[in-house]
Amino acid sequence: MAGLIPQSFIDDLLSRADIVDVIDKRVALKKSGKNYSACCPFHNEKSPSFSVQPEKQFYYCFGCGAGGNAIGFIMNFDSVDFPQAVESLARDNGMEVPREESKAATKRRAETADLYTLLEEANSYYQLQLRKHEGRTSAVDYLKKRGVSGAIARDFGIGYAPPGWDNLLKACASTPERENNLLKAGMVIERETGQGSSQSGGSQFKGYDRFRHRIMFPIRDARGRTIAFGGRVLGDDKPKYLNSPETPVFHKGSELYGLFEARKSTKKLSRLLIVEGYMDVIALAQMDIRYAVATLGTATSGAHLTRLFRMVPEVVFCFDGDKAGRTAAWRALEATLPQMEDGRQVRFLFLPEGEDPDTLVRKVGQAAFETLIDNATPLEQFFFDKLSSELDLDSHQGRGKLRELAQPLITQLPEGVFALLMREQLAQRIGIGVDALNALIEKDAATESHTQAPPQSYAYQGADNGGGQSEPYANFGGSNVNGYSLKKGAPSGGQTGHRSNGQRGWQSPRINPVPMIKRAPSSLKAIQLLLGNPEIALDYKSDIAPLMSSSDTTTAVLAKLIEMVHSDPQIDTYALLGYCAGTEFYSELTQLLRQEKITPVEGTGSEFVEIVDRLLQKAEQEQRIARMREELSRKRSELLQNTPQNASLTETVQSASGDANDDGVSAAESEEWARSEPLSDPPPFMDFSDD
């Protein structure tokens, strides 16, 4: 869904929907007084701590802190984004979702819709060729040889691209516009003919089919829409496997082949098996193992794992048992470590040499293969076995080397029981107490922070605009806040203060050996206090307008919540948290609530006011600096036209600052700015951390 969803529609939708019906379709609820209860679907528990309150149209888990309205529940349970959840709820209630969008957004949406339509047509065309084309025999024989049935071919939409340069073009490109869209969708390749170039001063281009004489595997997104293809050659041509290129609707670094089919095959997945190829997924499905997915020519990334862990608590990696397979497995383990929250399980299945999932499952059968999956190597065992494999742990040097190798990786783990157990196991293997190990880690962290890292700050992380700077916050409307997040210190990947636009800046190593313990931003803490006792917002009387326009997403949402309480002093926690459920930082808020549950606490008003005062001072200072920067830049531009070239920059700025300045910028302040930063190239952001 493109464009903003009007807040008025969201409010109307939530007023019509019954959260009990929404949740009961997915989780069996039991009446408990005025409310309903169940075991929480978002964490493992034996006694129900998950409560649904029909009066408030809200759910909350007292065990893990998960909570929200009907839209938030659909997002978490169905693993969909905010617009998709709104669409789902609206569809169930017979409503059509309106859109508020600019002309440019409308045009982009129409263009994207055209790509989806053409890709579906291409998929239908390839499937038809597998059934009807006179040259289909080689494709059918190949699939039969690999044990693929007609039912599985239908479920996965397998097709056939015949030999020839323009079969798809003839079938789907009836107009130049459609041919151009096929090009945008990656289905045809542009070819320069060279004809007419001398007469026109340019070149004529003609497209040809990207996929020729190949078995075709459609790649589908979470909604089941065809977004790309993979093709397996039937002759001796290279490459053996060919994927669609990156397009406006296909980003291979975040997609997984077979994920839509896996979710469609069962009501509730409990685990996912990551394999290496299309045919591995197909062969396992043929043997009724319907939870396998494959990456699309890329290593498993953090984006992949974030998506998978939203759906299942267990991920099993399947690799060849040779050296290359174990190297790939180690890269997967490194990507997994920052995702290993308590309750998640990761294991590694190494196949016998010369086998892949396709050949092995056909050889041993479903039951035996699933036994192999059940007995796969746990992450912690693979971790320590790999690091210890070439070390002599009977020697002091070997044990010291193990700590050197393991510690930077273990400190990437999220705080929790699993991280503590990994530290205990490392301490045991190197023969020291866990307290001694923790002391070493803390000492290394202090040294690392002092010698390498610049001061920690809450860096605003937005969409990169290609110049290394974050795009300004531009989409704050109702519950539909998207695109940005706040992290303490460094962006993911261990980089802090990095500037990619050529400015001088500091960049950390690829793996930060000992990351500092993450602390929630004070704005997020203020939201947590406000949720526990909404009345404390009434104690805040100052003008919050600067907070509303803050580039800090959580600060802007905090200001909105304060405004909501002032507009309706009777508003409750559930309405406020329901508003937060549509925001991008909601997952971070949920993490905070898991540590500090929502409970009314007396005496929190003064802490809340103190935090908001600091945030307000910071916002006002940022705005004043922005005005100062703009004014100085304007003055400099004016004076450069009239000032002799031998005049100093300080004299120029002093001259400019001598004029009346509505913002109260003094000459001393201007001179300080002139010395600290070149006015023609200001830094991407200035930090005035309140923590």
DSSP 187-205: SEEEEE--TTHHHHSS--E
The residues, ordered by sequence, that sit 6+ positions from 160 with a Cβ below 8 Å of its Cβ are: 126, 129, 130, 133, 136, 139, 214, 215, 216
Mean pLDDT score across all residues of the chain = 78
The whole-number pLDDT of residue 686 equals 33
Nearest alpha carbon to residue 230 among 193, 255, 208, 263: 255
Residue 115 CA to residue 110 CA, distance in Å, equals: 9
The whole-number pLDDT of residue 323 equals 87
Band (pLDDT 50/70/90 cuts) for residue 407 is very high
Mean pLDDT of 466-475: 32
**Domain at 103-195+202-250: CATH code:** 3.90.980.10
Which range, of 139-153, 204-218, 410-424, 584-598, averages the lowest pLDDT?
584-598
Mean pLDDT of 64-88: 86
Q: Are 413 and 340 spatial neighbours (Cβ–Cβ below 8 Å)?
A: yes
Sort 235 into a burial class: Cβ within 10 Å, 0-12 / 13-18 / 19+.
exposed
Statement: residue 498 has pLDDT above 80: no
Higher local confidence (pLDDT), 35 or 506: 35
Pinpoint the residues of the chain covered by CATH 3.90.980.10: 103-195+202-250
Express each pLDDT in 232-252 by its tens digit. Answer: 999 888 899 999 999 999 988
Residue 32 CA to residue 50 CA, distance in Å, equals: 11
Statement: residue 104 has pLDDT above 90: no
The whole-number pLDDT of residue 105 equals 66
Pinpoint the residues of the chain covered by CATH 1.20.50.20: 390-451
Residue 475 CA to residue 556 CA, distance in Å, equals: 11
Pinpoint the residues of the chain covered by CATH 3.90.580.10: 7-92
Long-range contacts of 229-237 (CB under 8 A, 24+ apart): 229/122, 229/123, 229/126, 229/187, 230/257, 230/278, 230/296, 231/161, 232/278, 232/279, 234/138, 234/139, 234/142, 237/213
Mean pLDDT of 163-167: 92
Band (pLDDT 50/70/90 cuts) for residue 196 is very low
Residue 412's identity, in one-letter code, is Q
Residue 159 CA to residue 124 CA, distance in Å, equals: 8
CATH class of 7-92: alpha beta
Place of tokens 């409308």: 106
Residue 349 CA to residue 435 CA, distance in Å, equals: 34
Higher local confidence (pLDDT), 14 or 689: 14
The whole-number pLDDT of residue 621 equals 83
Q: Are 529 and 599 spatial neighbours (Cβ–Cβ below 8 Å)?
A: no
Between the alpha carbon of residue 248 and those of residues 111, 172, 259, 271, 358, the distances in Å are 9, 19, 20, 30, 32
Cis peptide before 239, with omega less than 30 degrees from 0?
A: yes
The whole-number pLDDT of residue 290 equals 95
Mean pLDDT of 105-128: 88
User: Residue 474 in 3-state DSSP?
Assistant: coil
The whole-number pLDDT of residue 32 equals 83
Statement: residue 609 has pLDDT above 80: yes
Residue 262 CA to residue 272 CA, distance in Å, equals: 8
Residue 192 CA to residue 181 CA, distance in Å, equals: 18
Place of tokens 């009066």: 55
Statement: residue 541 has pLDDT above 70: yes
The residues, ordered by sequence, that sit 6+ positions from 524 with a Cβ below 8 Å of its Cβ are: 486, 554, 585, 588, 589, 592
Higher local confidence (pLDDT), 200 or 443: 443
Mean pLDDT of 621-627: 83
Statement: residue 164 has pLDDT above 80: yes
Domain 390-451 fold: Pheromone ER-1 (1.20.50)
The whole-number pLDDT of residue 173 equals 87
How remote is the C-alpha of 688 from its chain's centroid?
27
Two tokens at 354? 């010369």
The whole-number pLDDT of residue 200 equals 39
The whole-number pLDDT of residue 636 equals 81
User: Residue 438 in 3-state DSSP?
Assistant: helix
Mean pLDDT of 634-653: 62
The whole-number pLDDT of residue 596 equals 54
- Report DSSP letters for 104-171, one per residue: HHHHHHHHHHHHHHHHHHHHHHHHHHHHH-TTTHHHHHHHHHTT--HHHHHHTT-EEE-SSSSHHHHH
Task: Tell me what percent of the residues of the chain surpass a pLDDT of 70.
Answer: 74
Statement: residue 439 has pLDDT above 70: yes
- What is the C-alpha R_g of the chain? 29
pTM to 2 decimals? 0.58
- Report DSSP letters for 540-566, one per residue: --S--HHHHT-SSHHHHHHHHHHHHHH
Place of tokens 């408030």: 56
The residues, ordered by sequence, that sit 6+ positions from 325 with a Cβ below 8 Å of its Cβ are: 319, 350, 351
Which range, of 139-153, 506-520, 583-597, 618-632, averages the lowest pLDDT?
506-520
Higher local confidence (pLDDT), 565 or 125: 125
Statement: residue 499 has pLDDT above 90: no
